[in-house]
Homo-oligomer: A and B are copies of this chain.
Amino acid sequence: MHSWITIAPDSEFPIQNLPFGIFQVGLKDPRVGVAIGDYVLDLYALSQFGYFEDVDIADHTVLFRDNLNDFIALGKPVWRQTRERVSQLLRHDNTEFRDNEEAVRECLVKRAEVEMLMPVKVPNYTDFYSSIEHATNVGKMFRDPANALLPNWKHLPVGYHGRASSICVSGYDVIRPNGQTKAADADMPTFGPTKELDFELEVAFIAGRETELGTPVSTTDAEDYIFGMVLFNDWSARDMQRWEYVPLGPFLAKNFASTISPWVVTLDALEPFRVKGPDQDPQVLPYLQYTGNKNIDINLEVLLQPEGQQPVSICRSNYKHMYWNMNQQLAHQTSNGCNLQIGDMYASGTISGPEETSFGSMLELTWKGTKPLTLPDGTERKFINDGDTVIMRGYAEKDGIRIGFGECVAKVLPAL
């Protein structure tokens, strides 16, 4: 299947992808769009031309919002219908939209010309810790190399609550946070800009359906509660984290900013890239058991771009390495009756692979700063400098079809 719109072979947005996002162009109000090749398809405009008459959207103004939440609330059958209708309209052999010059002019906007906004309003944000390579690396560095994983790690997908208010869309600069730190050899803490600003390469899924308090969701049903996925940079200040995190977990070391990619890729688009997950040994408790291929083969990459220079690749990892999958994360999150809300974000935790070049944070790549990275300009990095831009990319690929997320980019500004 291909589209009548010309799409580069290596585009992340072929007709097989069709991710949802919120965009703004010129003085027009924000609205729902779908990415296709180098364009954004304006779904609200498309609805005004009557192309969604057979889609179960009673009130088309849900497409005329600054977030996807109201559209998502219509339910999975409607997301699917909408995406399938868009696919039909864009197929090479379909003329109903293609030959309507006015509609094409009004509904197709160059991606280069739009500003992407936060795709959802996020009521709750959880960050998991589900990569065994990452958890092992951290355990080796800070605890006992011989017993790197804590006793609970293989029995449940460890997670904690993060801050929803500071999740920003790609392109929003990150200000280096000030905070309290204490040097190992100091008597007293000090306050000032973090010296150990780090990224964490993650992928997050977005809840698409709410539940009542007291209602667990099984691993089998979990996918009915997931709208789609984004790349997620869980910015972290390691020196602040070390000092503050006992006994209640990370707080100010994380909540100054997180960055997500703007396009929400649906599980339907990612279905062809399903792979088997790792064997879980010891066997997990029944509420965490699952059947089928629940991991997804998504290539992930992190690039670092010093001010005024070209981006350089510093990490290549893959989402397929996850020890705990999304279905297990959602089943665990709701196993105590915790209620889901539409737009909730559930991030994977840092996704490190087995090789040293696949570690998903500077902490691991430079092994706590002991092995700095040397960049093409000769400068070294233990952590992230002011003026550096961190770029995350992700795509699944098979049979010449690439399903991408768009970039998750943020530049670091000096502390205030």
Contact = CB atoms under 8 A, between A and B. Distances in A.
B255 A152 contact: no
A58 to B, nearest CB: 22
Contacts of A126: 251
Nearest to A179: B336
A338 B166 contact: yes
A257 B213 contact: yes
Interface stretch (A3-11, A71-79, A154-162): A154-162
A123 B213 contact: no
| Copy count, this protein chain | 2
A324 interface: no
A290 interface: no
A340 B165 contact: yes
Interface in A246-300: 246-252, 255-257, 282, 285-287
Contact of A150 (B127, B247, B337): B247
A332 B155 contact: no
A156 B175 contact: no
Contact of A252 (B178, B240, B245, B336): B336
A160 B416 contact: no
B244 A247 contact: no
A256 B338 contact: yes
A81 interface: no
A248 B249 contact: yes
Please report whether the interface of chain A is mostly helix, strand, loop or mixed according to DSSP: loop
Instruction: Pick from A214, A244, A256, A339 the residue with the most CB of B within 10 Å.
Output: A214
Interface stretch (A91-99, A185-193, A314-322, A358-366): A185-193
Interface string A181-203: 01000001111000000000000
Contact of A180 (B179, B182, B247, B285): B285
A156 B180 contact: yes
Interface string A206-243: 00000001101000000000000000000001001001
A3 B339 CA distance: 43
Interface of A: 123-124, 126-127, 129, 150-152, 155-156, 158-166, 168, 175, 177-180, 182, 188-191, 213-214, 216, 237, 240, 243-252, 255-257, 282, 285-287, 332-333, 335-341, 344, 416
